[in-house]
């Protein structure tokens, strides 16, 4: 829903919650199949990892990272290109290869921002313990948990918006006005290999 609404906004529209939910309902079948497919792959990787030694676990960890990168654009591909799970993985991997620099910079930058923001949740715990002892510690812990839950929801929404923006860039070479000037998109003209726009 967030990716659908974000794409409408990136294309100059003014999406509503209903617009995002409508797009999600239209693609619920493909998204469900993808969830089953991705869950199966994760179970297989985990089973293999448990059977291997230390070196094997490192190798499977790298395979897991590669899988995460290759599937970065799967959801918008499912929504806008109407592909099945495996075809969506191949398409997503192709889009990642054509924009790997922008995708990595964007992902790491956003991740760093929210990790740093997460550390702020420790502050009410420390202040509560210092100012009011055990009672303050418990209150601070509750405040921190609520803060981290809200931060997680915001991070998830922000990640979906970034994926939508990067997908638009990967398929059209266009940068939305709200994202112009950000280092992840650079100033280079569109490169060969961009796909069909949604």
Residue 154's domain comprises 2-179
Q: What H or E segment, with its residue span, contains residue 19?
A: helix 17-26
Contact 99, 170 (CB under 8 A): yes
Taking alpha carbons only, the member of 81, 106, 94, 89 closest to residue 175 is 106
The count of structural domains within the chain is 1
Q: Is residue 45 part of a domain?
A: yes
Q: Is residue 184 part of a domain?
A: no
Q: In Å, what is the CA distance from 150 to each residue of 21, 45, 113, 141, 154?
A: 21, 31, 15, 14, 6
% residues pLDDT > 90 (the chain): 14
SS3 for 27?
coil
> What tens digit of pLDDT does each residue of 44-78 get?
888 887 787 777 778 888 888 888 888 889 888 88
Q: Is residue 63 part of a domain?
A: yes
Q: Is residue 9 part of a domain?
A: yes
Q: Is residue 188 part of a domain?
A: no
Helical H runs in the chain? 2-10, 17-26, 28-51, 54-70, 74-81, 85-98, 100-119, 122-172
Q: Is residue 62 part of a domain?
A: yes
* 180 pLDDT higher than 90: no
> What tens digit of pLDDT does each residue of 113-158 get?
889 999 999 999 999 888 888 888 999 999 999 999 999 999 888 8
């Amino acid at each position: 829903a967030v990716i659908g609404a974000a794409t409408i906004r990136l294309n100059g529209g003014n999406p509503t919650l209903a617009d995002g939910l409508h797009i999600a309902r239209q693609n619920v079948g493909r998204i469900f199949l993808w969830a089953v497919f991705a869950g199966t792959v994760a179970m297989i990787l985990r089973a293999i990892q448990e059977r291997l030694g230390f070196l094997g676990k490192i190798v499977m960890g790298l395979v897991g990272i590669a899988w995460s990168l290759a599937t970065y654009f799967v959801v918008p591909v499912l929504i806008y290109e109407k592909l099945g799970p495996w075809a969506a993985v191949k398409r997503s991997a192709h889009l990642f290869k054509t924009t790997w620099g922008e995708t990595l910079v964007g992902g790491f930058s956003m991740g760093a921002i929210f990790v740093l923001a997460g550390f702020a949740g420790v502050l009410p715990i420390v202040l509560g313990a210092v100012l009011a002892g055990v009672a303050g510690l418990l209150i601070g812990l509750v405040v921190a948990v609520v803060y981290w839950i809200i931060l997680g929801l915001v991070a998830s929404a922000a990640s979906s918006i970034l994926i939508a923006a990067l997908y638009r860039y990967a398929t059209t070479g266009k940068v939305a006005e709200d994202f112009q000037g950000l280092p992840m998109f650079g100033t280079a003209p569109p490169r060969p290999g961009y796909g069909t726009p949604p």
